[in-house]
Amino acid sequence: MKIDIVSVFPEYFDVLNLSLFGKAQAKGLVEVHAHNLRDWTHDVHHSVDDTPVGGGAGMVMKPEVWAECLDELLGLDSSTSESTTEVDDVSTDSTAAPVLIFPNPSAPLFTQRDATELSHADHLLFGCGRYEGYDARIPEYYRAQGVDVREYSIGDYVLNGGEVAVSVMLEAITRLLPGFMGNADSIVEESYTGANALLEHRQYTKPAQWRGISVPDVLLSGDHGKVDRFRRDEALARTNEIRPDLIERLDCASLDKADRKT
């Protein structure tokens, strides 16, 4: 997977050269390029923003600068305003145009389902907004050029820019790539995956008694059927208590009889 990230703080992504991501790059699983949006400016101040049309506080990122950058990275010839690459759904062929992703606090929430879908893409291009955000015509223009443009929020809180959001989405997406995680099993039984996303049951390790607190006896029983049932019941109960919104999304057809009693 090729990953391009555009930001006014590209050094923010130096961290991707470390740990699992660094190993994945060394193994050729991912190829990451962080670009400085200011490299596509032409004025002495390398301006990337301007005041909002219609007034209001803050500054908005200029469409011209973004367009020069994105045309180049997308391989679009702006003089003909035609795509020079085949535009496809999330494609895994090596010549497909990238999926262009803008983190945006006013966009739909990024979910595990989005991470799974995007993990099959061949090329992702992230555009990090700053200030009050980017000119709304940028995603509009590239959608009109046939580019697969996505805008996602990572949650209901205020951040100073899209860089943190890109880091979150990148981790959620790339950890699903075959060979990225040392142990493939670790991406199977986790919360938020599949149509039956439940919060996970509580986890314990040794010792069985610690500072007067014991692990649930059933976990020491050696009866895998009882352990599985206990964990499923706890996952349902915890989800119902902490994230009832996830219960509403459950695929009820997949609940077994015992689940229905919980």
Ligand X SMILES: Nc1ccc2ncsc2c1
Please report which residue ranges of the chain form alpha helices under DSSP H.
19-26, 63-74, 112-118, 137-144, 163-174, 224-242, 244-248, 257-261
Reduce the DSSP state of residue 32 to 3 states and report it: strand
| Least distance from ligand X to the Cβ atom of residue 100, Å | 15
Number of residues that bind ligand X (CB under 6 A): 12
User: By CB under 6 A, what part of segment 123-152 binds ligand X?
Assistant: 129
| Least distance from ligand X to the Cβ atom of residue 175, Å | 19
If one asks whether residue 114 binds ligand X (CB under 6 A), the answer comes out as no
Instruction: Please say whether the beta carbons of 29 and 180 come within 8 A.
Output: yes
Distance CA 196, CA 184 (A): 20
CB closer to ligand X, 155 vs 179: 155
Distance CA 196, CA 128 (A): 32
Stretch of 54-62, 160-168, 184-192, 204-212 contacting ligand X, by CB under 6 A: 160-168
CB closer to ligand X, 105 vs 216: 105
Of the candidates 29, 59, 90, 159, which one interacts with ligand X according to CB under 6 A? Answer: 159
Stretch of 16-24, 45-53, 99-107, 227-235 contacting ligand X, by CB under 6 A: 99-107
Distance CA 57, CA 124 (A): 32
Please count the CA atoms within 13 angstroms of the CA of 156 that sit on its side-chain side: 0
Distance CA 71, CA 97 (A): 11
Of the candidates 65, 118, 165, 199, which one interacts with ligand X according to CB under 6 A? Answer: 165
Instruction: Please say whether the beta carbons of 131 and 58 come within 8 A.
Output: yes
CB closer to ligand X, 142 vs 180: 142
Reduce the DSSP state of residue 136 to 3 states and report it: coil
CB closer to ligand X, 173 vs 219: 173
Instruction: Please say whether the beta carbons of 162 and 103 come within 8 A.
Output: yes
| Least distance from ligand X to the Cβ atom of residue 101, Å | 11
| Least distance from ligand X to the Cβ atom of residue 222, Å | 45
Tell me the residue type at 124. Answer: L
Residue 23 makes CB contacts below 8 A (sequence gap 6+) with: none
Of the candidates 155, 186, 251, 262, which one interacts with ligand X according to CB under 6 A? Answer: 155
If one asks whether residue 52 binds ligand X (CB under 6 A), the answer comes out as no
CB closer to ligand X, 150 vs 201: 150
User: Interface residues with ligand X (CB under 6 A)?
Assistant: 103-105, 129, 153-155, 157, 159, 161-162, 165
